[in-house]
Chains A and B, each alone.
Chain A
Amino acid sequence: MVISAQLFSFFTAGSLVIIGIFAALFLDNLIKKIIGLAFIGDGANLFIITMGYKPGGIVYIFLPNMTISNFAQNASYPLPFALVLTSIVIGASTLAVMLGLVIVLNKRHDSLSASKILGDESD
């Protein structure tokens, strides 16, 4: 059985999200938690890119020797690629803020354990 590239990609995106949520829930190390969170964002981004994929499609640039109907039928969908770029930038900036906070908190508590730093007394 041959799984199409698109379906496989959707499965990968879904498993990235689930692995990410698992890591955020169950791993105690803050850096590992943050890697898990990055996975969730990556899963969402991969999902969006996959939607723009069209089997056998062409690049969405209108070249001089094309007819409009041929272009409209075969070009892949350009919007997701534009969106995903923005979303990657957002993900990178939140990741930077998170890691910066972890650096500060690591200096203050001398630990990376979430239960120690973010426990009950830290309100």
Chain B
Amino acid sequence: MDSLMPIMVILPIASALFLNLLHGKDRTIKILAIVTALVLPIIPLLTGYGSHYFGGYAPLSQNSAIAQGLPALITSTQLFVFHPSIVYVFGSAQKIMIFVLGIIAFFAIFTSLSETKKPSGVYTYLMFMGTAAVTAILLSDDIFNFYVFFEIAALAQIGIVIASNVKNNYETALKYIILGNIAGPLLLLGIALLLGVTGNVNITDIIYSIKNGYVNPQNPVLLMALALITFGWLYGSGLPPFHTIKSALYSKALPHGSALIQAITVFIMVALGVMILRIFSYLSFSKMAIIAISLLALVLSITMALVQTDFKRIIGYLALGELGYIGIGLGLGTTLGITAGLFQAVNEAIITAFLFIGFGTVLYKTRISDTRKLGGMMFVNPRVALLVLLAGLAMAGVPPLNAFQSKLMLIQASIQSGVPELGIIMILLSIVTFMTFMKAFYTIYMRPKPDELEIHDYKIPKATIISLVAFLIICLTLGLFPQIATNSLQTLASSLV
């Protein structure tokens, strides 16, 4: 048991509450936010692996002091191994994901503090709250605790959109929250059905009950629970039919806000997908459904990205399309496939944040996000243009950048599982992704500047350039040495098979 584990969640929540109170004191907010954000990616590196039992209530089988003298009614039944409290589990996969989340949160907060003239305590509050919620989602082994932080993450995303001064952001936020209020309670209902059948909300205990015959695995109530939880998964991760509202949400936030929102979305998708696989992997139907939904997400989102004109919307749809790759990896159900899916999730979170912040410089200079009105940005700042181009190449899966490694692994996994068709579709859509990106890049950077386009002569903040270079370094490192990530992700993947 490591006491640093709850700190990963408590620290961002505590600093979020402080920052909210300090709203108006600009210098204090800046210093406090940057220091806390810098600590966020460091904590998971220092934490030891293991489980944390809240309140110290370990299962009776591990707690001989209490277990002594209890009647056989308790000690000889499954009650003896059940977890009585909320449990956080921290393994190597959680370590790398929380580290990446912390890095993205740090750079998002860092750029937001330097790009806005007056730092807003409320805005940083929302960003920290979202980070804390996703960290808890990744750690939690308790399905209800998971739901609570799921809703907090949704509210934080909506808050980030409301706090951004973008046209029509309130309308999009209201649409998202209304749709969330249909899907959220239905996810809760699915959790309630699981609780009703197994009498438990701890995922390990639910699996124990199903595997050891305390619950009939073919119970129709379990199937209903799977259906409702899958629906909640679609909402949380913006898979079809939620892809339209999710991409609208991305496009209504400021670029650094979108960078964080997409990281939240990616990790929620991974955490819920892994949870579905852990509990329901004995139903082969669940994997088929995950693959079908992911294919739909790939095709619909990427083709929609092709025909958009707003560049924030284009990246939003592309990011949602990339989620399909993660889903296919999880749905294949083999160790290689799941490792590749999780690796793709880590890569995608970094690359999309890279792209959002990179294209954000265009918005910063021109206040316009419509590609039809843009052009000639290459001459304004060629170095940033090069960085954005590299981000696009990374997303399309060009070696030696990181998504190449994960997409290659995904294709290998699909061939190994006997469905090379998935590999062909993935290659096809990678090419279309590249084309979509190049179309946006060409219209913004390379074609002649339209006469009516006004480019403000604000200097792009150093923080933004530092963030972009840092993201590029991470992409290169993971591309050249994929073992850093895959070795730690493999443990989780092999436990799911």
Contacts and interface: CB of A to CB of B under 8 A. Distances in A.
Direct A–B contact in the complex, CB atoms closer than 8 angstroms: yes
A118 interface: yes
Given A17-B189, A93-B155, A105-B170, A37 B248 contact: no
The interface centre, meaning the residue of B155, B159, B181 with most chain A CB atoms within 10 A of its CB, is: B181
A102 B472 CA distance: 41
A101 interface: yes
A83 B196 CA distance: 13
Interface in A37-79: 37, 40-41, 43-44, 47-48, 51, 68-69, 72, 77, 79
Contacts of A105: 170-171, 174
B182 interface: yes
B88 to A, nearest CB: 17
B199 interface: yes
A117 interface: yes
Contacts of B181: 24, 37, 40-41, 94, 98
A20 B188 CA distance: 15
Contacts of A21: 182
Interface majority SS on A: helix, strand, loop or mixed?
helix
Interface majority SS on B: helix, strand, loop or mixed?
helix
Given A44-B185, A118-B175, A101 B170 contact: yes
B212 interface: no
B149 to A, nearest CB: 10
Nearest to B173: A101
A80 B182 CA distance: 21
Given A94-B151, A94-B155, A98-B181, A47 B186 contact: no
Contacts of A91: 185
B177 A94 contact: yes
Nearest to A114: B178
Interface in B428-478: none
B186 A40 contact: yes
A5 interface: no
B170 to A, nearest CB: 6
Nearest to A33: B178
Nearest to B199: A77
Nearest to A43: B185
B170 A51 contact: no
B306 interface: no
A41 B74 CA distance: 35
B177 A47 contact: no
A35 to B, nearest CB: 11
A98 B174 contact: yes
B155 to A, nearest CB: 6
B182 A37 contact: yes
Contacts, number: 101
A62 to B, nearest CB: 13
B168 A101 contact: no
A24 B148 contact: no
B151 A79 contact: no
Nearest to A38: B181
A4 interface: no
B329 to A, nearest CB: 31
A83 B177 contact: no
Contacts of A94: 151, 154-155, 177, 180-181, 184
Contacts of A34: 178
Nearest to B77: A72
B192 interface: yes
B178 A24 contact: yes
B201 A79 contact: yes
Nearest to B144: A83
A87 interface: yes
B162 interface: yes
A108 B181 CA distance: 23
Nearest to B177: A98
B174 A101 contact: yes
A32 to B, nearest CB: 12
A123 B178 contact: no
A97 interface: yes
B307 interface: no
Contact of A118 (B147, B148, B158, B174): B174
Given A51-B195, A101-B170, A105-B171, 6 more contacts: A24-B181, A37-B178, A43-B185, A79-B201, A94-B180, A94-B181
Interface of A: 17, 20-21, 24, 30, 33-34, 37, 40-41, 43-44, 47-48, 51, 68-69, 72, 77, 79-80, 83, 86-87, 90-91, 93-94, 97-98, 101-102, 104-105, 108, 117-118, 122-123
27 contacts: A20-B182, A24-B181, A30-B174, A34-B178, A40-B186, A44-B188, A51-B196, A69-B71, A72-B73, A77-B199, A83-B201, A86-B148, A90-B151, A94-B151, A94-B154, A94-B184, A97-B155, A97-B177, A98-B181, A101-B162, A101-B170, A101-B177, A105-B170, A105-B174, A122-B168, A122-B172, A123-B248
- Top 5 nearest A-B pairs (CB, nearest first) are A122-B171, A37-B181, A44-B185, A101-B174, A41-B185
Interface of B: 70-71, 73-74, 144, 147-148, 151-152, 154-155, 158-159, 162, 168, 170-175, 177-178, 180-182, 184-186, 188-189, 192, 195-196, 199, 201, 248
